[in-house]
A and B are shown apart, each in its own frame.
Chain A
Amino acid sequence: MILILVFISPIFGVLLADMVGYHEPLDVVAEALNLPDLTELINWTPLLDYTIPGLPAEAGYAVAGLVGILIILGIGFLLSKIVGRT
């Protein structure tokens, strides 16, 4: 189920988003008000906005989703180990 969501996510996060000129709602507001975009100025991750350097946007979005899920499941695994010990 989670894998299905990840593999169809580029349809929503990239393809449909491009079709309607989608931005994050608060980013739209920031652009309209000429607020500085600090996200790119103080960025610390190569995976900004669910992209993978070197991969096309669609594949990058799905791979980024997998990376996120693996990290979350990894946190869950660590929690299980800690709980199992106590």
Chain B
Amino acid sequence: MHIPDGFLDPVVIILTYVLLVIYGVFAFKRIKRTLNTENTPLVSVLSASIFAAQMLNWPIPGGTSLHFVGGALAGVMLGPWLGFLTMFIVLIVQCLVFHDGGITALGANSLNMAIIDVLVGYAIYRLTVKTFKSKDPPRMLAAFLGGWLGITIAGIACGLEIGYSQAFPYGVSITVPIMAGWHAVLGIIEGTITALTVAYLRKRAPHIIFAER
């Protein structure tokens, strides 16, 4: 899902950077209030774990791949603001140190993976848990749906960004269904890993799951 340099038009680049800055300023105020000596190590370790998990590209015969993204997991575990910080640390290190994701696309990549994926994952988890109000199986379903829908909607956003860029010869009528369909399928793996991780954490350290509060 990391968009490289050369894919996005200046208008899309500027628009996505502006959205990132506006959201980042808003998030920064919340992060300043919530970040403390207890949750800072969680942000750091979760960032490192997601970075490592993203290095495990599962190649798919035919020349493509899938990897765990982790935005929804970050949202469920740490909430929308610290989840954003967690994913943004991963993305900025990938971009600046390894050129994984373009510098011109950092706004778009952050919008997709650090904002949309995190927010959707968090919101769906909360909504599902509140709807069912009972114990483990619905919570696993909530985490699965959060992971699955988070990555699918982030894929749709990615389709919009490249579809509205003239550098890309196909418009949104093609890019959005392809990105949505592809990510809806890959999202089953994302949802499963998110659900298993949340289930494990609920058993071992339930107090650290922000979306349960």
A39-B6, A45-B98 known; A13+B63 contact, CB < 8 A:
no
Cα-based distance from A51 to B168 in the complex (angstroms): 28
Whether B96 pairs with A45 at a CB distance below 8 angstroms is yes
Q: Are B59 and A68 in contact (CB under 8 A)?
A: no
Q: CA of A12 to CA of B59 in the docked complex: distance in angstroms?
A: 7
The answer on a CB contact under 8 Å between A22 and B65 is yes
Number of B interface residues in the complex (CB < 8 A): 48
Residues of B within 8 A of A42 (CB): 5, 103
Residue of B nearest to A35 (CB): B6
In the complex the two chains form, is A5's CB within 8 Å of B97's CB? Answer: no
A75 B57 Cβ-Cβ under 8 A = no
Q: Is the CB of B48 within 8 A of A19?
A: no
- Segment at the A interface, from B16-24, B36-44, B121-129: B36-44
Contact across chains for B58 and A12 when beta carbons are under 8 A apart? yes
Partner of A61, one of B55, B64, B93, B100: B55
In Å, the complex CA distance between A39 and B62 comes to 23
Give residues 21-79 of B contacting A (CB, 8 Å). Answer: 35-37, 40-41, 43-45, 47-49, 51-53, 55-65
Q: Is A55 an interface residue (CB 8 A)?
A: no
Contacts of A77 in B (CB 8 A): 44
Q: Which residue of B lies closest to A19 (CB)?
A: B59
CB pair A75 B89 closer than 8 Å: yes
- Residues of B147-175 at the interface with A, using a CB-CB cut-off of 8 Å, are 162, 167-169
Cβ-defined contact, B44 with A71, below 8 A:
no
> What are 15 inter-chain pairs, A to B, with CB distance below 8 A?
A5-B52, A5-B53, A12-B57, A26-B162, A28-B63, A33-B168, A35-B168, A36-B6, A37-B4, A39-B5, A44-B103, A45-B99, A69-B48, A69-B52, A71-B97
B-to-A contact residues, CB < 8 Å: 1-7, 35-37, 40-41, 43-45, 47-49, 51-53, 55-65, 89-90, 93-94, 96-100, 102-103, 162, 167-169, 182
Which residues of A are interface residues toward B (Cβ below 8 A)? 1-2, 5-6, 8-9, 12-13, 16-17, 19-28, 30, 33, 35-39, 42-45, 47-50, 61, 64-65, 67-69, 71-73, 75-77, 79-80, 83-84
